[in-house]
Structure 1
Amino acid sequence: MATTLRKKKDVNREFLAELSQALMEKEQNAIIFCGIDGSIQGLCTFLTGGDSGLQLEAAYCIANAAAWEDENKTVSQLSSAAGAYLITLLGCGNSSLQEACCWALGNMFPQGKNILCSQGFVNKVLTLLDSPYENVHTSAVQCLVQFVSTSSSPDSDLIKISAQIEKLCHSNGVDVQSLCWLIYLLSFFPCCDTSILASSVIFWSLCQLRQQLSQGKKVSILIPIIRFLGNVSAASNDYVVILLNENDFCSIILQLLDSSYEPICKETLLLVANIVNNPSSTVRSVLANVKFKEILEKNVCNVLVLF
């Protein structure tokens, strides 16, 4: 198949779809393919052609090959060859192709981060947050999650991403799960505090907690929100007070501590520990006023045995 690619003969959409499937199924297939001289460059020629069908399948081929690439590489073969083409195609206006390029770029982290950053990756992906297409919007947020979660990132890029969070919280059709993980990951970086430690973001997170507890109880949403609030409570006395003064905050914590899913109980206990161990006299006064420790004591003891 690599030979056929290099010759560009008899390459159609079905051929590339078959190659994409083979690259997805086995790591060894991807290793062999990428090890053949000219194979990746051959794929890139279809990214630059005018046939959107071939471009789409070529992007998925690269996405599937990148998923197997050694993350310990200092230089990413795939991002070196295809990164610039994929970043350019993010602005193509074809929603399916934009989505595929996001998946391919996301799979190139962390090994391709330096190369992609130098090619303007962050600025280009951020433009997709205004896309009218839900699939593009979602894949862009998921791509940013991959970017933030893998190795070190320039503060300037993190600040640009965090500046979009408040807008995303008010965006219709946003992928809540991906946004929750992005908020949580950004909360680790002090350079993002101005945007992340904002009332609207915290109240949005509380709203999502309430919805999950009353409806879905989706672990993949609950976990990042609990962790985010844990980071918030460790970083800001003011927001600890705001949380404690929410009428139903103790009730929310009780429900989380009573969860049948052990990781939720443990993450909630860490959040509680951050709050009750806060040395601020103001926080301690509010803790006493709302009887936080007394209300949670029994449930906390039940969770402690899990450690």
Structure 2
Amino acid sequence: MALLEDANHAQDVRSVFREMLRENDSLLRKEKRDAEHAGRRGISLGKFGGTKPSLADVEAAALQLKKKAGGSENRLNDLNLLQAAFSFPGEGFGEAFVKIDGALPALVRDLSGQDSSLQLKSTYCCANLALAGPDIGLKVAKAAAPYLMTHLQGMNQILLEASLWAVGSLSGTGIPALKVLEVQGIFPQIIAIMQRYHPPTCSTTPLQESSQTKLQEIRVIEAVLYAATLCVSAGLPDNIKSSDIEGLAAAAVPLLDRSNSIFLARLMYLYFVLSCSESSEEILLNYNVVNKIILLLDEIRVVTSPGSTECSNYGFLIQVLTYIIRTLGNLCSGERGRSTFESMSEIISPILNNVLKALPYLPMHLLKETLWFIMQLLKPYAQWSDGVLQVCQCPWTVLAAPVNSSLKLQSNRFNLGATLISEGTDS
């Protein structure tokens, strides 16, 4: 009976994932059409005569913004120009703006004002200013963080999306900017937003819920995953609080049950970043995440079979596949994780066997990532004899032959031999 339930669950997950892939193209096209209306970060240079703004343009716009010159309409045009200019890193536009006395306070004035159009544009300006580097990112965070946090609590989804891109980008500039956001409560805010977009418990299937999902909600989910990933990535070297890691992991797990694929790559990237901290282990191992993403791994392996490189989803699928393998490798590297994986070896082994067969048709980095993951499983049982992997009397014995075959077939093509894999198991 239990085996039948597992088989039915696997079939449900695969059916949902196939539907996700079918919907992906049409949703991406609609997202592109609606991007300008939603105030996305990207700005068409056609609005500026097809040319990149100059430093003189930025300085003039900053002075006009400071003086409130020309009313709301002209200020909106100035913010449009600044948003576009700040999106070019390495051009000195951010530095030129911040050096003008009063320019940053003027930007914050519109960020905290009552005009929603000016709020939105100034929020994206803050996001793009983060591209100018850590020093400016810290200055913007100090000036804008309280108001961005207020936007995160609001009900305007378009402004919420922009604010999430902004706090994510600012945290990505480094630990000092993240510390400013931490004082303002960024992690509880992100967790609360993620929880707001969990699939409804009354929904009978993930697919039914997906058919009712609004595109703007998907954009907010994508933005909150971006913000969460950047905050965790910046915080891990500085020993981010275990409670924040655990809260983010618990909030991210239910999003896997939403059947929309647009944000799937970002969700898997967040899982990977979280899995780099031992604090996430209990959540990710206990909440059936491993089982679900193993089934996705099998489904993606089928989709990325020979001849699939021409499909429009190929790059997206490779991203998802990469993050799944890295997450699984991190989770199985500890004693508890290894035990969890071994209890599922009857399900995992044939899937990994099939993944190894598909490796000749996938990018080189996936060969290394996959073999590293499998070696985490085999590490306690593996021995090397004349460059050949030998595994006996363990749940993963059936993987020894395909691993050796994969090494033999791919070593010349990718310059990756058994010695490198053997040494890699000690890291």
The question of a shared fold, defined as TM-score above 0.5 by the shorter chain, is answered with: yes
The structure-2 alpha-carbon separation of the partners of 1:232 and 1:243, relative to structure 1 and needing over 3 Å to count, comes to farther
Residues 133-156 of structure 1: CA deviation (Å, up to 9, x unaligned):
111111001110111112432222
Q: Which residue of 1 aligns with 2:422?
A: none
- What is the CA RMSD across the aligned residues, in angstroms? 2.3
Partner of 1:195: 283
Shift of 1:42: 0.7
List aligned pairs for 1:145-294, cutoff 5 A.
145-150=229-234, 151-152=237-238, 153-173=240-260, 175-198=263-286, 200-215=288-303, 216-217=313-314, 218-235=317-334, 236-246=337-347, 248-279=350-381, 284-288=393-397, 291-294=398-401
Instruction: Please give the alpha-carbon distance, in whole angstroms, between the structure 2 residues aligned to 1:121 and 1:219.
Output: 31
The question of whether the paired residues in 1 share the 8 Å contact of 2:68 and 2:75 is answered with no
Instruction: Name the structure 1 match of 2:126.
Output: 62
Question: Cα gap change, 1:119/1:268 in structure 2, threshold over 3 Å: closer, same or farther?
Answer: same
Question: Residues 7 and 74 from structure 1, CA distance in 2 versus in 1: closer, same or farther, beyond 3 angstroms?
Answer: closer
Residue deviations 1:241-275 (CA, integer Å, cap 9, x gap): 14421163233332353333100111111112112
- Once structures 1 and 2 are overlaid, which stretch shifts more, 126-135 or 263-272? 126-135
For residues 39 and 4 of structure 1, what CA distance do their matches in structure 2 show?
9
Corresponding letter in the other structure for 2:268: C
Residues 157/49 of structure 1: CA separation in 2 closer, same or farther (3 Å cut): same
TM-score (norm 2): 0.66
Task: Tell me which moved more, 252-261 or 136-145.
Answer: 252-261
**Cα distance in 1 between the residues matched to 2:115 and 2:180:** 27
Percent identity over the alignment is 22
Structure 1: gaps spanning 5 or more residues: none
Distance 1:19 1:284 in 2: 64
Q: Distance in 2 between matches of 1:48 and 1:75?
A: 18
Query: Is 1:121 the equivalent of 2:186?
Result: yes
Change (3 A) 1:259 1:275: farther
Q: Which is further off, 118-127 or 213-222?
A: 213-222
Q: Hey, what's the Cα distance between the residues in 2 that align with 1:36 and 1:9?
A: 16
Say if 2:76 is the partner of 1:13. yes
- Give TM-score scaled by structure 1 length: 0.90
Checking the alignment, whether the CA contact within 8 Å between 1:269 and 1:303 is kept in structure 2 is: no
Q: Aligned partner of 1:157: which letter?
A: D
* Partners of 2:249 and 2:274 within 8 A in 1: yes
Q: Distance in 1 between matches of 2:352 and 2:140?
A: 49
Q: Unmatched 5+ residue regions in structure 2? A: 1-60, 198-213, 304-312, 383-391, 417-427
Q: RCO greater where, 1 or 2, for CA within 8 Å and sep 6 or more?
A: 2
Opposite residue 281 of structure 2, the aligned amino acid is: D
SS of residue in 2 equivalent to 1:270: helix
Contact 1:89/1:97 (8 A) holds in 2: yes
Partner residue in 1 for 2:98: 34
Which protein has the larger Cα radius of gyration, Structure 1 or Structure 2?
2
Q: What is the CA-CA distance between 1:67 and the residue it aligns to?
A: 1.8
Q: 1:284 to 1:94 in 2, by over 3 A?
A: farther
Does structure 1 retain, via aligned residues, the 8 Å contact 2:332–2:338?
yes
Alpha-carbon spacing, 1:266–1:26, altered in 2? closer, same or farther (3 Å): closer
Amino acid paired to 2:112:
T
Q: 2:247 corresponds to which letter in structure 1?
A: K
Q: Partners in 1 of 2:113 and 2:359 — Cα distance?
A: 55
